[in-house]
Amino acid sequence: MKRFFKFVLKALGALLILLILAFGFLYYYSVNYDMYDLSLDREAFPELKSETDIPALAERLVAEMTLEEKIDQMYGEGYSSAAKMGINFLLRGRFPHVYTGGNERLNIPPWVLSDGPRGARVMDQDIFGVTTFPVAMARGASWDIDLERRIHEVIAIEMRANGANYAATPCLNLLRHPAWGRAQETYGEDPYLLGEFGVAAVQGIEKHNVMACPKHFALNSLDNSRLFVDVQVDERTLREVYLPHFKKTVQKGKPASIMSAYNKVNGEYSANNKYLLSDILRDEWGFEGFVTSDWIYGTRDGIGSIKAGLNAEMPFQDHYSDENIIDGINSGQITEEDIDNLVIESLSTRLKYAMADDPLKYGKNLIASRQHTDLAREAAEKSMVLVKNENVLPFKKSGQGKNILVLGRLADMENTGDHASSDATPAYVVTPYQGIANYNKDSGNNVELYSGQDLKKVREKASKADQVILIVGYTYEDEGEYMITEGAMKESAEAGKLIGNSGIGGDRESLRLIPEDERLIEAVSGTNKNTVLVYVGGSAIDMSPWEDDIPAILFAWYNGMEGGNALARILYGDVTPSGKLPFSIARNSADYPFFNPYTMKIEYGYYHGYTLFDKKGIDVAYPFGHGLSYTTFEYDSLEIDAFDPEKQTFKVRAKVSNTGNMGGEEVVQLYVGFANSQIERPVKLLKGFDKITLQPDETRIVEFEIELEELAWFDPESQTWKTEKMAYEVYVGPSSDERKLLKGSFVYDSETE
């Protein structure tokens, strides 16, 4: 018996050693995988004289492929690469390169996807940090499309330096409800705002021959049930509310690709939805690029996706397996010509980018360079929204020996947002406390950090401080991409409530801050008139329990690697706040549209955000477009030109003056009203904005040119867009609050044409 146990122990020991060796081998090759050139070998294709020759080349290459080679063009990697994905993501906190669509025999280079809403997600093996920007919602709050274009240029440059050439950005899903967990990845609640930012992002990305991939197409505005939820929507709501920003980005930005969504739309999964992917996207909008699925669970039916027009399944071959596709061809459900068309579409686009001349060399020295990190700080500064200010900010810089108290569990946390697909690994992070301490380092002031656990001490310290800076909000554990198993997600969705483990991130079930933060706010309230609350998060919150007790409120968002430095420069007046809310904040959370994170079906209505509050006459806490400054601006002299039938536009002008004593930036907003409409329309819609810089006593005439198609509504019966002949209201001012807007009107009628 002893001999038997010794044998068993030796066998187990040997097995353990083998397992350790096997894991070591797997780990080594997972983190030291081969890297491939993504550019096209022009010498291999002497017939290529210009970009116009690429479609013919794509057709020739597909004609030379076997069926198996064609299928190889239609997915990321085999499931054998799952270990590479898992080990790099779970053990190293980074996404590896997934090489898609290469064919060495035919000299076709692969392409590599990198997420990138706030920085290059995929990193070369010897790179351990990139430039990490504020989240997209923060940048939406900047209302600065030139800034967004420059940010995406930097993201593209760093993607190229890291060996990637396909960017899963921008996220264009509409913020329907502020509890959406991935709100931080998009730009706000308004289709016009999203469309303008989408075009800028695509232009910035593609300047450096990186293929842009706006996502998630379409109606993905709920996360905890995203793999199963069926979003029901009528035709007008679909066309006028949830698709205009995608349409504008496709037609004006001309991205290389589009990513389909996980969810169903009117009973059909997005990746199988021919109405979305072919009828609308390609046939109506003229999209000429290729469509990829969202990752892992983005496809559910390979044959259905092929029929719908999905070019590639990502990141693994699953439903686009050789067996499924060959069986589909043999059974007559699809044809090999269907496969040819999908591969030709993707190749025609991919080869164009692979052969293009680059505007610069993408050396690794560019990654997190000073120029790039300075832009990250600029973005953080221009994004912050001063929501409330009762003569507290800017803090005075004169004098020495001040006691500055920085409070909160988030005050010294590296907290840049979601840790899932939209994450980026920063080269460094300046926390709020570090930024404030660095700013005051040579001033003779004392900056104290306190987490705030002892509320009695909080009150004592706050009452004695000269300045109190309270940092509250969320982390990736509270909101973001919902990280939980597919089975657990479905169980909760079917039950209509959380079942079991709550997972990481996801949608918020409450718009209030976590109890710990609210207790800290209560402890500070009334102790010091020089108190500012700094909110870190990705969307709107319910401030009603404590708003009246806090004299200054600043939305700082998840503000990137340079956020702490930017915060200090805002607090002490080196930079005047210029951000504006890209969403409305209701007084009562019940005023938002219905929202349940756990559901198998939900209906998206025609109204949400400011259009809902306008229509119902609901007074809000803070309107869409709201944001204070350290200076003051006045609007006057609204002028509206007659409609220009040749250009199909009308022009609006207004004077904006800086009447304060500091220079600053102002976001001038234009809305068009539909009070005279004979059909159901919103009270008004954003149709123009411009961020301008004015010095004290400076006046500028701001001009907008609005295209006629921006006034149209979609007629479901005729399946066409129509423009009513009537008088339209025009509003110009600092926010959507009608009381602060200049008002005029113009008439569009048959004689105008």
pLDDT tens column, 688-714 = 999 999 999 999 999 999 999 999 999
Q: Which of 583, 599, 617 is the last residue of a domain?
A: 583
* Angle in degrees, CA 642, 643, 644, rounded to 5: 115
**What is the per-residue burial (b if ≥16 Cβ within 10 Å, else e) of 329-366?**
beeeebeeebbbebbbbbbbbbbbbbbeeeeeebeeeb
CATH number at residue 643: 2.60.40.10
User: What does the alpha-carbon distance between residue 73 and residue 290 come to, in Å, rounded to a whole number?
Assistant: 12
Q: Same domain for 129 and 81?
A: yes
Neighbours of 722 (CB within 10 A): 12
Q: Same domain for 126 and 269?
A: yes
Q: Pick from 512, 628, 587: which is nearest to 179 by CA?
A: 512
Neighbours of 701 (CB within 10 A): 10
Residue 137 lies in a domain: yes
Residue 390 lies in a domain: yes
Q: Same domain for 296 and 404?
A: no
Q: For the chain, state the CA radius of gyration.
A: 27
User: What does the alpha-carbon distance between residue 158 and residue 119 come to, in Å, rounded to a whole number?
Assistant: 8
Residue 623 lies in a domain: no
- Band of the pLDDT at 238, cuts 50, 70, 90? very high
pLDDT tens column, 613-662 = 999 999 999 999 999 999 999 999 999 998 888 899 999 999 999 999 99
> What pLDDT does residue 752 have?
46
Give the chain's domain count.
4
Q: Rounded mean pLDDT of 87-97?
A: 81
Looking at beta carbons, which pairs linking 673-680 to residues 24 or more positions away fall under 8 Å? 673/728, 673/729, 673/730, 673/731, 674/728, 674/729, 675/729, 676/724, 676/726, 676/727, 676/728, 677/724, 677/726, 678/724, 678/726, 679/713, 679/724, 680/606
Work out the percent of the chain whose per-residue pLDDT is above 90: 89
Task: Specify the 3-state DSSP secondary structure of 601.
Answer: strand
Quote the domain boundaries for residue 286: 35-365
Q: Same domain for 213 and 342?
A: yes
User: What does the alpha-carbon distance between residue 185 and residue 330 come to, in Å, rounded to a whole number?
Assistant: 42
> What pLDDT does residue 753 have?
45
pLDDT tens column, 482-537 = 999 999 999 999 999 999 999 999 999 999 999 999 999 999 999 999 999 999 99
> What pLDDT does residue 146 have?
98
Q: Same domain for 351 and 381?
A: no
User: What does the alpha-carbon distance between residue 673 and residue 338 come to, in Å, rounded to a whole number?
Assistant: 46
Residue 600 lies in a domain: no
User: Please, which residues bridge with residue 260 across strands?
Assistant: 217
Quick one: DSSP state of residue 716?
Answer: T
Q: Which of 515, 550, 583 is the last residue of a domain?
A: 583
Q: Same domain for 103 and 251?
A: yes
How many Cα atoms are found within 13 Å in the side-chain-facing hemisphere of 297? Answer: 15
Q: Same domain for 171 and 267?
A: yes
Phi, psi of 297 (to 5 degrees): -110, 20
Residue 601 lies in a domain: no
User: What does the alpha-carbon distance between residue 507 and residue 498 come to, in Å, rounded to a whole number?
Assistant: 12
Residue 604 lies in a domain: no
User: What does the alpha-carbon distance between residue 678 and residue 279 come to, in Å, rounded to a whole number?
Assistant: 29
Helix-strand-coil percent breakdown of the chain, rounded to 5?
35, 20, 45
Task: Specify the 3-state DSSP secondary structure of 162.
Answer: coil
Q: Same domain for 441 and 297?
A: no
Provide the pairing of β-strand 531-536 with 552-555.
Answer: parallel
- Band of the pLDDT at 732, cuts 50, 70, 90? very high
| Encoded amino acid at 293, one letter | S
Residue 625 lies in a domain: no
* CB of 557 closer than 8 Å to CB of 156: no
Encoded tokens for 313: 């399944």
Task: Specify the 3-state DSSP secondary structure of 107.
Answer: coil
pLDDT tens column, 10-23 = 777 777 776 776 66
- The residues near 499 (Cβ < 8 Å, ≥ 6 apart) are 488, 491, 492
pLDDT tens column, 561-610 = 999 999 999 999 999 999 999 999 999 999 999 999 999 999 999 999 99
In Å, how far from its chain's centre is CA 4?
A: 62
Q: Same domain for 639 and 692?
A: yes
pLDDT tens column, 339-392 = 999 999 999 999 999 999 999 999 999 999 999 999 999 999 999 999 999 999
Work out the percent of the chain whose per-residue pLDDT is above 70: 97
Q: Same domain for 289 and 354?
A: yes
pLDDT tens column, 121-133 = 999 888 889 999 9
CATH number at residue 198: 3.20.20.300
Neighbours of 411 (CB within 10 A): 25
Q: Same domain for 62 and 24?
A: no
Residue 612 lies in a domain: no
The dihedral sign for the CA sequence 233, 238, 241, 243: positive
How many Cα atoms are found within 13 Å in the side-chain-facing hemisphere of 38? Answer: 27
CATH number at residue 443: 3.40.50.1700
pLDDT tens column, 170-219 = 999 999 999 999 999 999 999 999 999 999 999 999 999 999 999 999 99
What mean pLDDT is reported for the chain? 95
Q: Same domain for 437 and 348?
A: no
Q: Which of 334, 365, 396 is the last residue of a domain?
A: 365
> What pLDDT does residue 97 have?
92
